[in-house]
């Protein structure tokens, strides 16, 4: 039982980071119908920005907020300038551009922060060896508890934004029927740019939380997290924010169980593959993810 | 503006001119250029093959695949294992790799029957992520040598081809790989062209444009989709074999074996022009040229770029590549071939032969 | 001066021009219908008036030149457009659909919603249902109610009868007629069902391949033999 809870706690904390980034992917996809390949790299570069502010002496919490603002500006700016221009002409072009962003941002981070010694991002939470709580015999580190709490709070705020505010209503309307949304007077351009911006800000937070756990920052920081997040968005359904969160947590917990209970066959090295294979099977039964809506195609 | 009837003498002359230009380049490169330049052309050939194979699936059938790096890797590993562990002659491994990849491709295609769009993209992405991990997996190390990969997989003796003269040493090998690559490119092109221009090819385009309508028109979705994925995987594997034979090495995190490979194939295909036969070929040349040029720029500290990027800790090569890709997509949203067609139409128009007439007018 | 004045309006999609310079007026409190066969340019006219597609010529609304105005801004100025077939937000609830309708203004929204629920009682019953789960007729009524939430002076209504059963169509038209008569709402209507449209509208424009070929009062048009033969099937 002790092991069970240990895997559960670790899985929930890691899963909440995947869920944050996945939520960003879903917000973008619902708004503009694109998979933003650069989502992880945007998060990575914002994490460096957080570190940079912190290194200049700005308190960590303030640095994170600044990083999220930069993330918002980056996301919104990219949508309004590059993505929208290309999307008008060709959908395949958007794919190329998001890949180009992926490559460009990765390279940019390496250029600016590359040859410094491995950057240490101070954890947001107490991270001494004895900073943990024992629950049902399992160790739950304060850092992990904090990550889960912050992620859940942000996701909660986001859902409030979606459900309760006028802006959230506009976002849902644009996702549901962009043409009628324009006719109803919704400034769709601003809404779409903001969806990318929100995704960017969430990415900044997920990157910082992940960076705090990993400890070292480098240009490849978010690559695996991005894969996990894409997997979560797929499993949950690409147009379902709630699905992304549930799927993110499920994948986080699931991979811990798989790696923990089958150390010989799966273990740390194969846990991502095992998780992906499981999702693969789920998709065969539910081709639009667990909570995604199926679109009926008409001739 | 020039108007030329399809099939007329002038049209054939135009085609002949194009053919002559290509022949000139193909003969000039391996005989006149340095072996490192020749090697870059071989790299372009490898990318062309992979992008052409991907084009069959994405450009013509409309099924996205971010998993082709796995088929590329399957090709490379099949060759390496057969040559090193079983003593095969390298030439035969092309056939074996194609068969293995065809089978795997058909299996991967099965979920594509149910899963569509972005979900299919993510399933194929999973395939791309899975392949290197499987190769690295300790339970499979007996076959793949795990993370260290396999090396010295080459033509031990480059066969002597009378017209090419004596091919010896590094340079001889480079020239030989150039010709071998060219043969595979031409073969892949012919296969793709044959498929696209056939009844089967029209079925593919019908599926791409409207799957439901295609099914109603009598296209067998299951067979068509699975077969085209299999063929595409097999062609991609040829590129993998070529790449392994060229470098002599294959590792789980080697070039084009990881997810990044799939992404590069997609870039090459889209930048060249998705859904066109020549797109991947142009894309391959342009991508390799861009890649090498930006890398050269990155290493030089002088000039404007040196001044611009002198502060950087690392080479700006990839950043510049990214910027150039964005510019290309703004200027040529349907790829370079699409752009060339649009511009070309302002100079020369080929008037298509009326339907039903077979003799040139 | 008319409420809506359209002069020499040309519009199309990409390189294809669909409308070749049409003139059209809608007076205050008037209900005008555009008739025409498939492909005549009726929907294009609507989309051009509301700024959804690029256009040339001039469009004046309430004395203001709106030829260069964005579609998003027009709602605030008093033009509401119910597009053909899919004027609702299928993933949103009925309530949220109406709230979106009031996006461009503020204040008194709850009272307005109640008012339209009184006009369309069936929407009130389904207030928490997703719009996509409503029947075709209910969706059309929701789309109209959604458009009316913006307090328009002019309602553009693109083929409200599309895909509806005759009885439901009647009901929708009844509502439009009542709004026009009681509230003085100006309506520009596109319709294929000429018989029905001629009963409710005061004036008619007849569109053929992107040009206006005839116009006049509903009575005039209905009594023109040639037009009757071509459009009314009688």
**3 state SS of C1:** coil
Is the pLDDT at C129 greater than 70, yes or no?
yes
More confident residue, A124 or B279: B279
Task: Give the highest mean pLDDT range of A291-295, B139-143, B230-234.
Answer: B230-234
Across the interface, whether the CB atoms of C88 and A183 are under 8 A apart is answered no
A vs C: CB pairs below 8 A: 74
d(CA A32, CA C159) in angstroms, rounded, equals 28
Domain span holding position A167: 2-285
Cα torsion A267, A269, A271, A277: sign: negative
Q: pLDDT category, C233, cuts 50, 70, 90? A: low
CA distances from C227 to C19, C139, C161 (A): 21, 32, 21
Question: Which residues on C lie below 8 Å from A181 (Cβ)?
Answer: 89, 100
> Which CATH number do you get for residue A55?
1.10.3470
Summarised one tens digit per residue, pLDDT across range C54-99 is 888 899 998 899 988 888 888 889 999 999 876 889 889 999 999 9
Lowest mean pLDDT among B26-30, B281-285, C198-202: B26-30
Written as six digits, the tokens of B150 are 């396999």
Predicted local confidence at residue B307, as pLDDT: 58
Asked whether residue B301 carries a pLDDT value surpassing 60, the answer given is no
Question: What average pLDDT score do residues B292-310 get?
Answer: 65
Cα dist from C11 to C17, C41, C48, C67, C208, whole Å: 6, 9, 6, 12, 15
Does A167 fall in a domain? yes
Reported as a single tens digit per residue, the pLDDT across C9-66 is 988 887 788 888 899 999 999 999 998 888 888 889 999 998 888 888 899 998 899 9
| pLDDT for the residue A73 | 97
Using the predicted structure, report yes or no on whether residue B360 has a pLDDT greater than 90: no
Read out DSSP for A143-204? HHHHHHHHHHHHHHHHHHHHHHSHHHHHHHHHHH-HHHHHHTT--HHHHHHHHHHHHHHHHH
Q: Tokens 């028109």 label which residue?
A: B217
Put simply, whether B107 touches A (Cβ < 8 Å) is no
Residues 54-83 of B with CB under 8 A from A: none
Q: Which of B102, B84, B49 is nearest to B261 (CA)?
A: B49
Q: Which of residues 121-150 of B touch A (CB under 8 A)?
A: 121-123, 125-126, 129-130, 133-134, 136-139
**Is residue B309's pLDDT more than 70?**
no
Q: Smallest Cα–Cα separation from B348: which of B16, B11, B2, B12?
A: B2
Average confidence score pLDDT of chain A: 87
Tell me the pLDDT band of A298, cut-offs 50, 70 and 90: very low
Give the residues across from B161 on adjacent strands.
B165
B271 in contact with A, Cβ within 8 Å: yes
Q: What percent of chain B stands above pLDDT 70?
A: 89
- In sign, the C-alpha dihedral spanning B301, B302, B304, B307 is positive
In a domain, A129, yes or no: yes
Rounded distance, CA A106 to CA A52, Å?
A: 16
Interface of A with C (CB under 8 A): 166, 169-170, 172-173, 175-177, 179-188, 293
Residue B131 within any structural domain of the chain:
yes
Model pLDDT for residues C97-116, shown as the tens digit of each residue: 999 998 888 888 888 899 88
Q: For C139-198, what is each residue's pLDDT tens digit?
A: 988 999 999 999 899 999 998 888 888 888 888 888 888 889 988 899 999 988 888 888
pLDDT at C14: 76
What pLDDT, in 10s, does the model give residues A166-203? 999 999 999 888 888 998 989 989 999 999 999 999 99
Give residue B356's Cα distance to chain centre. 35
Q: Is the model's pLDDT at A65 over the cut of 90?
A: yes
Phi and psi for C64 in degrees, rounded to 5?
A: -110, 135
Contact residues on chain B for A280, CB-CB shorter than 8 A = 111, 123, 126
Tell me the longest C-alpha to C-alpha distance in chain A.
Answer: 63
Q: What is the pLDDT of residues A80-120, one digit of tens each?
A: 998 988 888 777 788 888 888 998 998 888 888 876 666 67
Closest residue, chain B, to A105 (C-alpha): B319
What would be the CATH architecture of the domain defined by C4-86+153-232? 3-Layer(aba) Sandwich (3.40)
CA distance linking residue B235 with residue B241, whole number of Å: 10
- The average pLDDT across B4-31 equals 81
Task: Specify the DSSP element, H or E, that contains C223.
Answer: helix C218-223
Look at residue A295 and tell me if it is in a domain.
Answer: no
**Is the pLDDT confidence value at B23 over 50?**
yes
pLDDT 10s digits, B51-101: 999 999 988 888 888 899 999 999 999 999 999 888 888 888 999 999 999
pLDDT at B297 > cutoff 80: no
Residue A235 domain-assigned (yes or no): yes
pLDDT at C108: 84
Domain for residue B180, yes or no? yes
In this predicted structure, what is the pLDDT of residue B361? 39
Mean local confidence (pLDDT), A200-208: 93
Helix and strand counts by DSSP (H, E) for chain C: 10, 10
Q: Please name the residue of chain A whose CA is at the shortest distance from the CA of residue B123.
A: A280
Return the minimum-mean-pLDDT range out of B56-70, B117-131, B160-174.
B160-174
Domain that holds residue B243: 27-258
Q: Tell me whether chains B and A touch (3+ CB pairs under 8 A).
A: yes
- CA-closest candidate to residue B175, choices B286, B41, B282: B41
Distance of residue A128 Cα from the nearest chain B Cα, in angstroms: 33
Chosen from B57, B113, B119, B219 to mutate, greatest number of chain A CBs within 10 A? B119
Contacts of A175 in chain C (CB under 8 A): 91
* Residues B246 and B46: beta-carbon distance below 8 Å: yes
Which of A86, A90, A283 is facing B115, going by the closest CB pair?
A283
Residue A179's nearest CA partner among B152, B332, C81 is C81
What percent of chain A lies above the pLDDT cut of 90? 39
Residue A96 to residue B216, Cβ atoms within 8 A: no
Query: CB neighbours of B150 closer than 8 A, spacing ≥ 6?
Result: B77, B80, B81, B84, B144, B249, B250, B251
Q: How many domains does chain A have?
A: 1
DSSP notation for A112-139: HHTTSS-EEPPPSS--STT-EEEETTEE
pLDDT of residue A111: 85
CA distance C7 to C59: 6
Has residue B28 got a pLDDT over 50?
Answer: yes
- Does the residue B5 lie in any domain? no
Q: Do C and B have ≥3 inter-chain CB pairs under 8 A?
A: no
Question: Is chain A touching chain C, with at least 3 CB–CB pairs below 8 Å?
Answer: yes
Helix axes A223-236, A39-55, angle to 10 degrees: 130
Q: Which of A246-250, B294-298, B330-334, C108-112 has the highest mean pLDDT?
A: A246-250
| Separation between Cα atoms, residue C19 and residue C11, nearest integer Å | 5
- Give the pLDDT confidence score for residue A259 in this predicted structure: 87
| Record: contact A183-C76, CB cut-off 8 A | no
Least confident segment among A139-153, B123-137, B147-161, C41-55? B147-161
| Cβ–Cβ below 8 Å for C52 and A185 | no
Domain ranges of chain C: 4-86+153-232
Q: What is the dihedral of CA B332, B333, B335, B337, to 10 degrees?
A: -60
Evaluate whether residue A298 is within a structural domain: no
Confidence class for position B354, pLDDT limits 50, 70, 90: low
| E strand or H helix that includes residue A140 | strand A138-141
Q: CA B23 to CA B45: how far, in whole Å?
A: 15
Q: Is the pLDDT of residue A296 over 60?
A: no
Q: A101, B139: Cβ pair inside 8 Å?
A: no
Whether residues B270 and A265 touch (CB distance < 8 A) is answered with: no
Least confident of B188-197, B299-308, B346-355, C126-135: B299-308
Question: Is B310 contained in some domain?
Answer: no
Indicate whether B333 belongs to any domain: no
Tell which residue, C19, C30, C9, C4, has the closest CA to residue C218: C30
């Amino acid at each position: 039982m002790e092991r069970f809870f240990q895997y559960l706690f670790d899985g929930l904390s890691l899963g909440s980071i995947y869920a944050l980034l996945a939520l960003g992917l879903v917000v973008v996809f619902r708004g503009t119908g694109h998979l933003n390949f650069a989502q992880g790299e945007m998060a990575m570069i914002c994490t460096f920005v957080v570190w940079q502010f912190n290194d200049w002496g700005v308190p960590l919490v303030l640095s994170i907020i600044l990083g999220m603002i930069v993330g918002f500006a980056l996301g919104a700016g990219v949508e309004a300038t590059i993505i929208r221009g290309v999307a008008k002409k060709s959908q395949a072009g958007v794919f190329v551009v998001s890949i180009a962003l992926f490559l460009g941002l990765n390279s940019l981070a390496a250029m600016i922060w590359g040859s410094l010694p491995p950057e240490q991002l101070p954890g947001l939470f107490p991270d001494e060896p004895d900073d943990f709580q024992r629950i049902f015999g399992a160790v739950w580190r304060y850092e992990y508890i904090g990550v889960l709490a912050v992620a859940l709070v942000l996701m909660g705020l986001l859902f409030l934004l979606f459900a309760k505010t006028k802006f959230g209503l506009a976002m849902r309307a644009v996702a549901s029927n962009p043409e009628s949304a324009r006719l109803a007077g919704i400034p769709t351009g601003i809404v779409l740019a903001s969806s990318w911006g929100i995704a960017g800000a969430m990415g900044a937070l997920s990157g910082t939380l992940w960076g705090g756990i990993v400890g070292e920052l480098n240009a490849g920081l978010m690559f695996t997290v991005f894969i996990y997040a894409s997997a979560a968005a797929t499993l949950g359904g690409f147009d379902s924010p709630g699905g992304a969160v549930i799927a993110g947590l499920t994948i986080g917990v699931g991979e811990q169980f798989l790696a923990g209970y089958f150390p010989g066959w799966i273990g740390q090295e194969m846990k991502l593959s095992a998780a992906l294979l499981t999702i693969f099977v789920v998709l065969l039964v539910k081709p639009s993810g667990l909570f995604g809506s199926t679109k009926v195609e008409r001739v | 503006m020039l108007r030329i009837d399809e099939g007329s003498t002038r049209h054939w002359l135009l085609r002949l001119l194009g053919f002559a230009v290509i022949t000139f380049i193909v003969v000039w490169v391996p005989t006149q250029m340095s072996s490192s330049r020749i090697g870059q052309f071989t790299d372009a050939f490898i990318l062309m093959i992979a992008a052409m194979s991907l084009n069959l699936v994405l450009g013509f059938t409309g099924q996205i695949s971010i998993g082709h790096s796995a088929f590329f890797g399957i090709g490379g590993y099949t060759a390496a294992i057969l040559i090193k562990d079983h003593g095969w002659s390298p030439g035969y491994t092309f056939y074996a790799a194609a068969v293995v990849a065809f089978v795997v491709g058909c299996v991967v295609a099965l979920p594509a029957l149910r899963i569509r769009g972005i979900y299919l993209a993510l399933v194929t992405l999973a395939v791309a992520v899975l392949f290197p991990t499987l190769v690295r997996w300790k339970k499979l190390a007996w076959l793949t040598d795990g993370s260290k990969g396999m090396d010295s997989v080459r033509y031990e003796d480059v066969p002597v081809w009378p017209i090419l003269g004596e091919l010896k040493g590094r340079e001889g090998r480079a020239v030989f790989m150039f010709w071998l690559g060219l043969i595979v490119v031409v073969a892949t092109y012919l296969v793709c062209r044959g498929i696209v221009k056939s009844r089967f090819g029209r079925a593919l385009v019908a599926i791409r444009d409207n799957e439901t309508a295609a099914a109603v028109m009598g296209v067998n979705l299951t067979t068509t989709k699975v077969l085209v994925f299999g063929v595409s995987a097999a062609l991609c594997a040829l590129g993998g074999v070529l790449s392994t034979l060229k470098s002599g090495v294959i590792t789980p995190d080697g070039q084009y074996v990881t997810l990044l490979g799939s992404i590069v194939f997609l870039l090459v295909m889209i930048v060249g022009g998705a859904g066109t036969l020549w797109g991947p070929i142009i894309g391959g040349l342009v991508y390799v040229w861009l890649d090498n040029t930006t890398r050269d720029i990155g290493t030089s500290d002088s000039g404007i770029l040196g001044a611009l990027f002198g502060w950087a800790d690392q080479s700006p090569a990839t950043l510049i590549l990214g910027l150039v890709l964005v510019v290309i997509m703004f200027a040529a949203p349907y790829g370079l071939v699409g752009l060339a067609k649009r511009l070309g139409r302002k100079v020369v128009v080929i008037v298509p032969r009326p339907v039903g007439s077979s003799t040139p007018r | 001066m008319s409420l809506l004045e359209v002069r020499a309006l040309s519009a199309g999609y990409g390189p294809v021009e669909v409308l070749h310079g049409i003139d059209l007026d809608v007076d205050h409190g008037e209900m005008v219908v555009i008739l025409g066969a498939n492909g005549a340019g009726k929907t294009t006219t609507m989309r051009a008036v509301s700024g959804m597609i690029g256009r040339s010529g001039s469009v004046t609304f309430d004395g203001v030149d709106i030829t260069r105005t964005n579609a998003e801004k027009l709602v605030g100025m008093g033009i509401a457009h119910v597009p053909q077939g899919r004027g609702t937000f299928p993933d949103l609830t009925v309530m949220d659909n109406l709230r979106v309708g009031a996006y461009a203004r503020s204040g008194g929204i709850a009272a307005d919603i109640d008012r339209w629920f009184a006009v369309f009682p069936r929407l009130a019953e389904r207030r928490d249902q997703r719009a996509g789960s409503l029947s075709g007729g209910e969706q059309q009524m929701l789309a109209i109610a959604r458009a009316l939430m913006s307090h328009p002076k002019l309602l553009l209504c693109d083929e409200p009868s599309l895909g509806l059963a005759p009885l439901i169509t009647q009901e929708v038209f009844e509502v439009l007629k009542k709004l026009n008569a009681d509230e003085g709402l100006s309506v520009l209507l596109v319709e294929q069902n000429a018989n029905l449209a001629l009963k409710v509208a005061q004036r008619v424009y007849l569109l053929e391949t992107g040009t206006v070929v005839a116009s006049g009062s509903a009575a005039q048009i209905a009594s023109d033999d040639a037009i009757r033969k071509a459009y009314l099937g009688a």
